[in-house]
Structure 1
């Protein structure tokens, strides 16, 4: 299979890189790339065709499109023996990370419709890959809030993921929605493993307290922790309690969801592992991709044909060879935190109704 990396910029393909690094993941919204070449501009011996910051770029591995985005940096490094020029960029969805959301009041709409409205000014399409169609609340961006910060609040309400695809679109979906055809197997295709297996952030029990509405005769300390919900993590055997305060006006359900989420995600994060495999493609010639469920056999790490989710892939190529770093973990490790309820506010007329 063709693993040559090309950058398509200004209608022309550039190649000949001495190092390549391309990363994509389900918990990062925008994939990125960093390529470099030594001694001369790629694809042009005299460097007559210049590439500028802000140019639209498509990154391809052979015939496979992997990123559609923008050039963001043009690093230059040299010494007495060599000159190295690079091109760095991110997906189109990077603007959703960096930029403020337009003020908009939206009620009774689902995640897809609200995300589409938020992304529209940036020319970014939104893909519904299985997100909940339930209506969400608290959808108005706060003053100066980025699009991603606003989206994160909405994702927590419906327990969905937001990430980008090869075409620079925003995708709304659930963990492990596609399947890898090749398993990760110790003694076969796994070259190396890197995992901490840390329990530092895990606790034996989680208690979430919330404040109920007060009255003129019932207020202060009596209402602050009036709602209490707890759960335990059987994987932590010594006494390690952890108490969290739910912000805003809480409910029994919101406190229960929060403590159960904390226990599940912290336990799942313990199992996160990064594997390195040779090459960039699976057995059927397809690239390794994020959000694929993959079977992992690694008895040294406690995985006995366990199905995990590929959270991130990084394709790299340099003098050491061509490899893929694949970060995997249980699906619970990547679901967003349930939305914390806010205190009720008076309605204002400052928003724009869509």
Structure 2
């Protein structure tokens, strides 16, 4: 995968690892650490919430004649070796028997599943004069989750922020992060990281002929726009019916385009008519500070999602022995795919083990 200079617009890298790994996956539940899973898939990333795991095995602890009981709703932890990866809950347990086998399939989700699936309920549905971090902490606290900022992420004052009655806590947090230009994602301990796009670089992370066994590059213009224009809608949009044959001009008159535009030069030179109007979530933006950050963030993210490398790596760990982690910048060398010596952001990882061996799937942009 390759990288860009824009903070939110790095391309996407997906890594899949095969071969030997230092340690095996385990499910810690009810005081028991269950290992020996025949199939493992652990998925995590900066745009994935909740992080999740699927484990398949017999219902007997390898090497022990004791039946292991795993029930839906159990608090649990997923580990690789001694390293925690996910802290959360068993969401689903499927048991199956045939004349020749007796298996169990366990699905696990991180604690943030309660933010994704539960309503955003706080004492007041309008928050005034708070910074983004404070708002996000208030929303996360409803599920007993703490928020840990990195490098000042979320230190952006928001004058007015209203919770939509029907939205989940995750949806409200996601809207705040758009205004604060930061990422929020799970931590192995079950809490949440709030961070800018990662700056920690793993040198010579993935290289053709060394630790990369397969790779695929995708470059696309889908979902990208030559320009993204911020607009502030007025109540007249909701109350005044169309009266003109020129609906475009009427809509423009009923909204307030502001001096906040982001450009994607890769589209501007070929299809300049591709434009997007983006309503700004904040109700108080006299200097258009939110609007400028918001449209640039949107343009960067759309570009980043359009430039992807997916690769299969031969290990779940980097050369230092640490597990690969999301929001890390990786140096990638894939000369056969014309991606050589460029830095890419790891946005998604899938640790996988099945009959085909042990795999690490990582997505970078």
TM-score (structure 1 length as normaliser): 0.81
Contact 1:227/1:255 (<8 A) preserved = no
Change in Cα spacing, 1:308 to 1:137, as seen in structure 2 (3 Å) is farther
2:39 matched residue in structure 1: 19
Contact 2:206/2:330 (<8 A) preserved = yes
Alpha-carbon distance in 1 for matches of 2:329, 2:98: 45
Residue 212 (structure 2) aligned to one of 190, 199, 204: 190
Alpha-carbon distance in 2 for matches of 1:54, 1:242: 47
2:12 matched residue in structure 1: none
Contact 1:29/1:170 (<8 A) preserved = no
* Greater percentage in strand: 2
2:276 matched residue in structure 1: 244
Determine which structure has greater relative contact order: mean sequence separation of CA pairs < 8 Å that are 6+ residues apart, divided by chain length.
2
- Deviations along 1:224-256, one digit per CA (max 9) or x if unpaired, are 355266554332343352233333778784665
Change in Cα spacing, 1:20 to 1:177, as seen in structure 2 (3 Å) is same
Residue 141 (structure 1) aligned to one of 126, 146, 163: 163
2:254 matched residue in structure 1: 224
Is 1:83 equivalent to 2:108 in the alignment?
no
Q: Output aligned runs, 1:335-346, within 5 Å.
A: none
Q: Secondary structure at the residue paired with 1:315? A: strand
Contact 2:178/2:294 (<8 A) preserved = no
1:352 matched residue in structure 2: none
Contact 1:190/1:275 (<8 A) preserved = yes
1:193 is displaced (CA, Å) by 1.2
Contact 1:124/1:169 (<8 A) preserved = yes
Q: Secondary structure at the residue paired with 1:188? A: coil
Structure 1 stretches lacking a partner, 5+ long: 330-354
- Deviations along 1:65-115, one digit per CA (max 9) or x if unpaired, are 111110001122344433321111111111111111113433222222222
2:314 matched residue in structure 1: 278
Change in Cα spacing, 1:315 to 1:49, as seen in structure 2 (3 Å) is closer
2:72 matched residue in structure 1: 53
Change in Cα spacing, 1:91 to 1:44, as seen in structure 2 (3 Å) is farther
2:345 matched residue in structure 1: 309
Q: Secondary structure at the residue paired with 1:107? A: strand
Residue 171 (structure 1) aligned to one of 188, 193, 198: 193
Structure 2 stretches lacking a partner, 5+ long: 1-20, 243-249
1:159 matched residue in structure 2: 181
1:264 is displaced (CA, Å) by 3.1
TM-score (structure 2 length as normaliser): 0.79
- After TM superposition, the structure 1 stretch with the greater mean CA deviation from structure 2, 232-241 or 291-300, is 232-241
- After TM superposition, the structure 1 stretch with the greater mean CA deviation from structure 2, 124-133 or 242-251, is 242-251
1:266 matched residue in structure 2: 302
Is 1:325 equivalent to 2:361 in the alignment?
yes
How many residues align structurally? Answer: 324
1:141 is displaced (CA, Å) by 2.1
Is 1:235 equivalent to 2:266 in the alignment?
yes
Alpha-carbon distance in 2 for matches of 1:259, 1:158: 12
Contact 2:154/2:177 (<8 A) preserved = no
CA RMSD, Structure 1 to Structure 2 (Å): 2.8
Residue 119 (structure 1) aligned to one of 123, 137, 140: 140
1:5 matched residue in structure 2: 25
Alpha-carbon distance in 2 for matches of 1:6, 1:213: 54
1:99 matched residue in structure 2: 118
- After TM superposition, the structure 1 stretch with the greater mean CA deviation from structure 2, 236-245 or 68-77, is 236-245
1:34 is displaced (CA, Å) by 0.6
